[in-house]
Amino acid sequence: MTDKTPQETPPTGNAKDYCVFIQANHKQYIGALIAEYAIRRNSKHNDKFDIRIMHYDDFPVFKAHEGRKFLRDGEWREWVRNDLQSFTPTRFAPPQLMGFKGRAIVIDPDVFVIADIWDLFSRDMKGAAVMCRPKSGNKGKRGALATSVMLLDNAKLTHWKFDEQFAAMFDGSRDYMPWISLKYEDPETVALFENEWNDFDHLDENTKAIHNTQRKTQPWKTGLPVDYRAADSFRLFPPRHWFRRLRRALFGDYGLAGHYKRHPDPRQEAFFFGLVREAVEKGVITEEMLREEMRQNHVRHDALELIKTVPPVAYPVPA
Please give the helix or strand (H or E) that residue 225 lies within, else none: none
Span of 133-137, 253-257, 287-291 with lowest mean pLDDT: 253-257
> What is the pTM (predicted TM-score) of this model?
0.89
* 153 alpha-carbon distance from chain centroid: 18
The residue type found at 281 is E
How does the average pLDDT of the chain come out, rounded? 90
Structural contact between residues 13 and 45, judged by C-beta atoms closer than 8 angstroms: yes
pLDDT tens track for 39-77: 999 999 999 999 999 999 999 999 999 999 999 999 999
Query: What is the layout of strands, in order, in the sheet containing 111-113?
Result: 111-113, 209-211, 199-200
Other beta carbons within 10 angstroms of residue 168's beta carbon come to 16
- Give the three-state DSSP class for 181: coil
Beta bridge partners of 131: 151, 191
pLDDT at residue number 216? 95
What span, in angstroms and rounded, lies between the C-alpha atoms of 217 and 220?
A: 9
Structural contact between residues 15 and 98, judged by C-beta atoms closer than 8 angstroms: no
DSSP classification of residue 264: S
What are the helix (H) ranges across the chain?
29-42, 60-64, 94-97, 118-121, 137-141, 162-168, 176-180, 238-251, 266-281, 287-295, 303-309
Q: Structural domains in the chain?
A: 15-204 (3.90.550.10), 215-309 (no CATH)
Q: Residue 13: is its pLDDT beyond 60? A: no
